Structure 1
Amino acid sequence: MAEFAGKLAIVTGAAKSNGIGFATALLLAQKGADIVLHYNSNAAAAETAVSKLQSLGVKAISVSADAASPDFGTTIVDATLKAFPNRKIDIIINNAAAVLFASSAFDNEGFDNIFHANVRGPLLLVGAALPHMAKPGGRVISIGTVASRIGSRFAGLYAATKGALNTLTFTWAEELGPMGITANIVSPGPIGTDNVPPEEHELVKRFRSEQQIKRNGTVEEVAEVIVFIASKGSSFVTGQVVGVDGGFSHA
Structure 2
Amino acid sequence: MSDFERRPYPQALAADHDQPAPGSQARMRLQPDSDLSNYRPAGKLRGKAALITGADSGIGRAVALAYAKEGADIAFAFNHSEEDAAATRRLVEREGRVCLALMADVTVEADRARLVAETVGAFGRLDVLVNNAAYFEGDGTLEEIEPAGLRLVFETNVIAYMLMAKAALPHLEKVGGCIINTSSTTSIRGKMGSLAYSSSKGAVNVFTRSLALELAERGVRVNAVVPGPFWTPAIATSSEETVARFGSFTMLGRAGQPEEIAPAYVFLAAADGSYVTGALLEVSGGFKSVD
Distance 1:77 1:115, change over 3 A: same
Aligned length: 245
Quote the residue 2:165 is aligned against. 126
The runs of at least 4 aligned residues of structure 1 exceeding 3 Å deviation read: 103-106, 134-137, 197-200, 202-205
Call closer, same or farther: CA 1:203–1:145 in 2, change over 3 Å.
Answer: farther
TM-aligned CA deviation for residue 78 of structure 1: 1.7
Shift of 1:120: 0.9
Instruction: Report SS of the residue matched to 1:71.
Output: helix
Structural mapping, 1:72-87, within 5 Å: 72-84=111-123, 87=124
Q: Normalization by structure 1: what TM-score?
A: 0.90
1:46 aligned partner: 85
* Counterpart check, 1:7 vs 2:45: no
Shift of 1:198: 6.0
Change (3 A) 1:201 1:51: closer
Aligned residue number for residue 16 of structure 2: none
Match of 1:70 in 2: 109
C-alpha separation in 1, matches of 2:53 and 2:259: 16
Which shows bigger deviation, 129-138 or 213-222? 129-138
Deviation at 1:153, TM superposition (A): 1.9
Give, as a single letter, the amino acid of the residue that structure 2 aligns with 1:98: Y
- Paired residue type of 1:218: Q
Equivalent position of 1:179 in the other structure:
218
Deviates more, 1:109-118 or 1:69-78: 69-78
C-alpha distance in 1 between matches for 2:284 and 2:78? 26
Distance 1:208 1:42 in 2: 29
2:67 is matched with which residue?
A: 28
2:150 corresponds to: 111
Q: How far apart are 1:137 and its partner, in Å?
A: 3.2
Map of 1:208 onto structure 2: 248
Q: Tell me, in whole angstroms, the C-alpha distance in 2 between the residues paired with 1:11 and 1:160.
A: 23
Shift of 1:83: 1.8
**Displacement of 1:234 after TM fit?**
0.6
SS at match of 1:163: helix
1:92-132 CA distances to partner (integer Å, 9 max, x unpaired)?
11110001342343322212211101011111111001011
**Aligned partner of residue 222 in structure 2, secondary structure:** strand
For 2:87 and 2:144, locate their aligned partners in 1 and report how far apart those are by CA, in whole Å. Answer: 34
Q: In the alignment, which residue of structure 2 is the partner of 1:160? A: 199
**Secondary structure class of the residue paired with 1:96:** coil
Residues 249 and 70 (structure 1 numbering): CA distance in 2 closer, same or farther, change over 3 Å? farther
Please report how far the alpha carbon of residue 12 of structure 1 lies from its aligned counterpart in structure 2 after TM superposition: 0.6
- 2:125 corresponds in structure 1 to 88
Contact kept in structure 2, 1:67 and 1:121, CA below 8 Å:
yes
Distance 2:192 2:109 in 1: 29
Whole-Å separation in 2 of the counterparts to 1:152 and 1:203: 17
TM-score (norm 2): 0.78
Which of structures 1 and 2 has the larger relative contact order (alpha carbons within 8 angstroms, sep 6+)?
A: 2
Identity rate, percent = 33
- Do 2:92 and 2:99's aligned partners in 1 also have CA atoms closer than 8 Å? yes
User: For 2:285 and 2:200, how far apart are their aligned partners in 1?
Assistant: 22
Query: What is the distance in 1 between the residues matched to 2:264 and 2:45?
Result: 15
Tell me if 1:58 matches 2:91.
no
How far apart, in 2, do the equivalents of 1:94 and 1:250 lie?
Answer: 30
**Kindly tell me: are residues 31 and 73 of structure 1, through their superposed partners in 2, closer, same or farther at Cα, counting changes over 3 Å?**
same
Does the CA-based 8 Å contact 1:37-1:62 persist in structure 2?
Answer: yes
Q: Is the 8 A contact 1:5 1:33 kept in 2?
A: yes
Work out the CA distance in 1 between the residues paired with 2:86 and 2:279.
33
Give the secondary structure class of the aligned counterpart of 1:247: coil
Query: What is the deviation of 1:47?
Result: 2.6
Structure 1 pair 245/118, CA: closer, same or farther in 2 (3 Å)? Answer: same
C-alpha contact (below 8 Å) 2:180/2:265 kept by paired residues: yes
